[in-house]
Amino acid sequence: MISAGIIGGAGYTAGELIRLLINHPDVEIAFVNSSSNAGNKITDVHSGLYGETDLVFTDQLPFSEIDVLFFCTAHGDTKKFIESHEIPGKLKIIDLSTDYRIETGDHDFVYGLPELNRRKICAANHVANPGCFATCIQLGVLPLAKHLMLNSELHVNAITGSTGAGVKPSGTSHFSWRNDNISIYKPFAHQHLAEIKQSLTSLQNSFRSEINFIPVRGNFSRGIFTTTYLDCKVGLDEIKRIYEEYYDDHSFTFITDKNPDLKQVINTNKCLIHLEKHNDKLLIISMIDNLLKGASGQAVHNLNLMFNLEETVGLHLKPSAF
């Protein structure tokens, strides 16, 4: 069995990660660290796990007892933790924060998007899990980048559920503000743009186009629904062939001829993609569950790859669609 530890166990992504790991046939959770909840039952915070686990939060860090360490920490905190603690060199790490997603010379984290870097992830000791918006947007355009077809501006509108803002209510995430409401935030300046550009450039070195990204706060709890359009003179049949070929050996991304709806991916590790041509405009619809394919599900996918398991183990999940 693979023994896992979790740092930062009180948030939404940690709750989903615990849910996935306690049902994973090849993993056991050794500890869930949370200094603010030490001594409390996991189910006191993640009440949906009643009857599933008797685990208790701890403030201890028994690194010698685990094979893999997950960071479900706030952005900036993973780097601080690693720099201030002695972590065994052989311990595998999967970080769900933004801290190590951008490739620099001062760390060895591999960007953990399996549809882009599966071989690198399989050989990696340290993996930086992608952002939720970044995952959904990239999966919609990676096949075009591989075929050097991103030669015009990308126009992206993506609406996300309130869980994307984290578990602590804020002025723009609590119920009375979010319900029956919609708004944009960080237009053209979202922090996930850097990792998106990094990935697209790795496939298409000539990519210099603007990504005009408008993030939208939705009045629902989970999921990301993205529409991307760009100039493209290639016919729809050829574009579909390119996409189907790219994702043919990937387990969680699918091309659908029917215009999909968000509930088809909620509670799953899937990404659904729908393609349309309107004159010389290519419209790409992509959608994921922000807490699973956009966070914890993808982290478990990366764990499976890092430990040479079948990549879908523990991720056969039923969507919330009727």
Q: DSSP states of 218-260 as a string?
A: -SSSS-EEEEEEEE--S-HHHHHHHHHHHTTT-SSEEE-SS--
In a domain, 211, yes or no: yes
Count helices and strands in the chain by DSSP H and E runs: 9, 13
155 with 166, same domain: the answer is: yes
In a domain, 170, yes or no: yes
Pairing verdict, β 110-111 and 68-71: unpaired
In a domain, 12, yes or no: yes
77 with 204, same domain: the answer is: no
20 with 159, same domain: the answer is: no
In a domain, 139, yes or no: yes
125 with 138, same domain: the answer is: no
Query: Reduced to 3 states, what is the DSSP secondary structure of residue 274?
Result: strand
Domain span including residue 138:
132-290
Give the model's pLDDT for residue 54: 95
93 with 151, same domain: the answer is: no
140 with 276, same domain: the answer is: yes
Burial 113-131 (b: 16+ CB within 10 A, else e): bbbbbbeebbebebbbbbb
In a domain, 321, yes or no: no
Give the model's pLDDT for residue 248: 98
126 with 210, same domain: the answer is: no
CA distances from 17 to 26, 147, 301 (A): 14, 35, 11
139 with 217, same domain: the answer is: yes
In a domain, 219, yes or no: yes
Per-residue pLDDT of the chain (322 residues; tens, 9 = 90+): 999 999 999 899 999 999 999 999 999 999 999 988 999 999 999 999 999 999 999 999 999 999 999 999 988 999 999 999 999 999 999 999 999 999 998 999 999 999 999 999 999 999 999 999 999 999 999 999 999 999 999 999 999 998 887 777 777 778 888 889 999 999 999 999 999 999 999 999 999 999 999 999 999 999 999 999 999 999 999 999 999 999 999 999 999 999 999 999 999 999 999 999 999 999 999 999 999 999 999 999 999 999 999 999 999 999 987 6
Look up the pTM and report it.
0.96
H or E element: which one contains 33? strand 27-33
Give the model's pLDDT for residue 195: 97
- Residue 269's closest CA among 255, 252, 257, 254? 252
167 with 221, same domain: the answer is: yes
Query: How many separate domains does the chain show?
Result: 2
Q: What are the beta bridge partners of residue 157?
A: 214, 227
Give the model's pLDDT for residue 167: 74
Give the model's pLDDT for residue 322: 66
CATH number of the domain residue 92 falls in: 3.40.50.720
143 with 263, same domain: the answer is: yes
Catalytic positions: 132
262 with 302, same domain: the answer is: no
159 with 184, same domain: the answer is: yes
In a domain, 142, yes or no: yes
CATH number of the domain residue 240 falls in: 3.30.360.10
In a domain, 79, yes or no: yes
Q: What are the beta bridge partners of residue 58?
A: 33
